[in-house]
Amino acid sequence: MLALKLAYRNLVGAGLRTWLNVFVLSFTYILIIWQFGMIDGWNYQAQVDMKNWEVGNGQYWHQNFDPYDFFSYEESHAQIPELLKKATSEGKATPILISQGTIYPDGRLQSMILRGISPEQKVIAIPSAELNVKSEEIPVIIGQRMANSCKLNQGDITTIRWRDANGTFDAKEVKIVKIFHCNVPSVDAGQMYLSLENHQKMMQIPGQATMFIIDKNSNINSNISGWEYKSHEFLMKEMTEMIKMKKVGGSVLYFILLLLAMLAIFDTQVLSIFRRQKEIGTYIAMGMTRKQVVGLFTVEGAMHAILAVIIGAIYGFPFLLWQMKIGISMPAGTDNLGIPIAEKIFPVYGLGLIISTVMLVLIITTIVSYMPAHKISKMNPTDAIKGKIQ
Amino acid sequence: MEQNQLITINNLVKNFPIGKGKFTALNGINLTFKTGEFAGLVGPSGSGKTTLLNIIGSLDIPSEGYANVLGMNIGKLNIKNAAILRRLHLGFIFQTYNLLPVYSVYENVEFPLLLINMSASQRKKAVMDALDWVGLTDKIKSRPAQLSGGECQRVAVARAMVKKPKIVLADEPTANLDAANSHNILKMMMKLNEELKTTFIFATHDEKVIQYLKRKIKLEDGKIVKDEIIKTNKEL
Ligand SMILES: Nc1ncnc2c1ncn2[C@@H]1O[C@H](COP(=O)(O)OP(=O)(O)OP(=O)(O)O)[C@@H](O)[C@H]1O
Ligand SMILES: [Mg+2]
């Protein structure tokens, strides 16, 4: 195509200015891919972590259970139904008993959630097998966040207080037998795990549970009276939405960058159409139609994007692949957001992401190039040839 | 249109709008040109030479009257057909050369051929021939900025001639050149006029050009005041 050939000659002939624009543009689109790839990678990782540590392939909740209402916990436990008992024995699900308790780090009262879990379970990644120790105190495990906030170390003994099913307060010593690392804050912060049996004894409700987690490789969703099925998607919804919001928020910066790159190209185009009047007149005198000249200038502008894609691919793709391989370290403290964040996130770049980013940059650049180029078609060729300023 | 009559102009008037009124730059022009002429529009500044040349070149249209160039009615020609007429049959030479600054000499001369779908090998031959006519085969890689004014105008001549157009329109081609270069360019154009039978029409008030013309058309205030064939063209 003639326009492509001529546009390429003109761009390369224009030298430094071209390469500056091309570089900024390539940098922008690589950054956009990187940013979205990171968020997608994060999303993916968070999904996997939540599935492994908390959500499984869905849950059954006692009909009164509301995770956001601590007072509902007292009312939300019942005998384990047959179907789930069977599923538990087959390793397809595991019961959890949930109640509220208090702990006294440094003599301060702090509320927490006690979770009774079977030491034999393999449904979620909580290292509940560690609860299988003989000790005078009740063995418990906690996560790193909980350990930090209560200043507890492995082997520490501390007192906890709770209210049993009859409303009577009781207190006992517990021993921290294990501190685990987990990327999912809700599994860790303010949570203490003890064996289901111990918890049932403490609460004086043998054989009861608050909820069930279904194994990620199993599928149970039949109706069980008194229990409500919560799908995996439902349990993930909040996190997915939060990450989506992050995606929008995080991209604002990159779109500003894209806007700046577009401004540079717009400016280059306006300037060149102004400065190159004589050239435009000459093209017309040599028999190019105005449409062809407008096309040439538009292609010239759009070619910034084409060159940017090529240049970006040369330095950007190795960078992106390298990031995918080594991961991106996340600064400590980011998990205050309540979204699971690993120490390292491995970006995921979908083909859709790459293609849509490239197309976006191409289309916007073309539009931005066309707008000023369109003015050419209004030029009077005899004035243009002389390079008269209009 | 008579045989051999390349250009016919009847009662041509050209007005330019000025404020609310108009300015008549050409007023009742009647002219014909035949194949192979070496003619010039001469006359004082503002007499309408460029305006007439632009109309012949289909870059502008008459306000009144009729201008026929190679069988095309300029006043009725749409933008696309005017472009095709220029692309195929007209060559332009400008006072300010108007070379494409980012292109090499070779690419500048090649440009008109890119617009008419010529094969690469034909193109190469035509460009080298044209550069040979103007004696610049050793500068094909140079950029216009690296050339002298005379050399630039020779490139422009090569560019105008490379597609062997029927008509070459040259507006003040020597205005920016010194005497030696002016003579050089003019001799070259005369040679091409004789060898290729290309019609040349100049707009000029440069004596150095005028002495080469075989026909002088004198304009004053937008009117033809004299149209003479020069028989005793100075042999050089
Ligand atoms: N676009 C225009 N708008 C208004 N007036 C114009 C325009 N173009 C030319 N004119 C006027 O028409 C007249 C003829 O102009 P033209 O350029 O044809 O003169 P010329 O003979 O080529 O002069 P010169 O020798 O100085 O180049 C001038 O008075 C000029 O001011
Ligand atoms: Mg003039």
Same domain, A177 and A275: no
Instruction: Tell me, yes or no, whether A146 and A205 share the same domain.
Output: yes
Single residue among A230, A249, A271 that ends a domain in this structure? A230
| Domain end call among A196, A230, A264 | A230
Q: Are B101 and B144 in contact (CB under 8 A)?
A: yes
| Subunit contact A10:B102, Cβ cutoff 8 A | yes
Domains contained in chain A, number: 2
- Say if strands B90-93 and B72-73 run parallel, antiparallel, or are unpaired: unpaired
At A209, is the pLDDT very low, low, confident or very high (cuts 50, 70, 90)?
A: very high
pLDDT number for residue A357:
86
Q: A26-40, A112-126, A330-344: which range is least confident on average?
A: A330-344
Least confident of A208-217, A257-266, B208-217: A257-266
Same domain flag for A82 and A219: yes
Ligand 1 pocket check for B122: Cβ under 6 Å:
no
User: Chain B residues with CB inside 8 Å of A285's CB?
Assistant: 57, 59, 86, 92, 94, 98
Closest ligand, as measured to the CA of B219 = 1
Picking from A346, A337, A329, A327, the residue whose alpha carbon sits closest to that of residue A184 is A337
Percent of residues, chain B, with pLDDT higher than 90: 82
Same domain, A25 and A145: no
User: Which CATH number among 3.30.230.10, 3.40.50.880, 3.40.50.300, 3.40.50.150 corresponds to the domain B5-229?
Assistant: 3.40.50.300
Nearest to B217 by CA among B63, B72, B96, B47: B47
Q: What is the interface pTM, i.e. ipTM, of the complex?
A: 0.93
Nearest-neighbour CA in chain A from B80: distance (Å): 6
Position A245 scores a pLDDT of 83
Output the CA torsion A158→A162→A164→A170 (10° steps): 60
User: Which is it for strands B215-220 and A191-195: parallel, antiparallel or unpaired?
Assistant: unpaired
Does the beta-carbon distance from A13 to B111 stay under 8 Å?
Answer: no
| Same-domain check for residues A112 and A182 | yes
Contact A287 B80 (CB under 8 A): no
Same domain for A366 and A293, yes or no, is yes
Asked if A303 and A209 sit in the same domain, the reply is no
Asked if B186 has any chain A CB less than 8 Å from its own CB, the reply is no
State the pLDDT at residue A339: 66
Q: How confident is the model at residue A337 (pLDDT cuts 50, 70, 90)?
A: low
Of the three residues A197, A230, A263, the one that is the final residue of a domain is A230
| Residue to mutate (ligand 1; options B27, B45, B50, B217; most atoms within 8 A of CB) | B50
Q: pTM for this structure?
A: 0.74
Task: Return the closest-CA partner of residue B54 out of A279, A274, A389, A281.
Answer: A281
The pLDDT of residue B2 is: 47
Asked if residue B64 lies in contact with residue B13, where contact means CB atoms within 8 angstroms, the answer is: yes
Chain B hits for A16, Cβ within 8 Å: none
* Residue A137 and residue A276 in one domain: no
Chain B residues 99-138 with CB within 8 Å of chain A: 100-103, 107, 111-112, 114-116
Domain ranges in chain B are 5-229
For residue B23, report the distance from its CA to the centre of ligand 1, in Å.
10
Numbered residues of chain A with Cβ closer than 8 Å to any chain B Cβ: 2, 5-6, 9-10, 12-14, 278-279, 281-282, 284-290, 292, 381-382, 385-387
pLDDT at B235 over 70: no
Residue with CA closest to ligand 1 atom 7: B16
Chain B partners within 8 Å of A289 (Cβ): 79-80, 83
Range of the domain at A145: 59-230
Atom of ligand 1 nearest to the CA of B205: 25
Q: Report the C-alpha gap between A329 and A247 in whole angstroms.
A: 18
- Same domain? For A260 and A220 the reply is no
Q: Check if B60 contacts A (Cβ < 8 Å).
A: yes
How far separated are the first and last CA of chain B, in Å rounded? 35
Please indicate, yes or no, whether residues A125 and A181 belong to a single structural domain of this protein.
yes
pLDDT tens per residue across span B2-12: 455 899 999 99
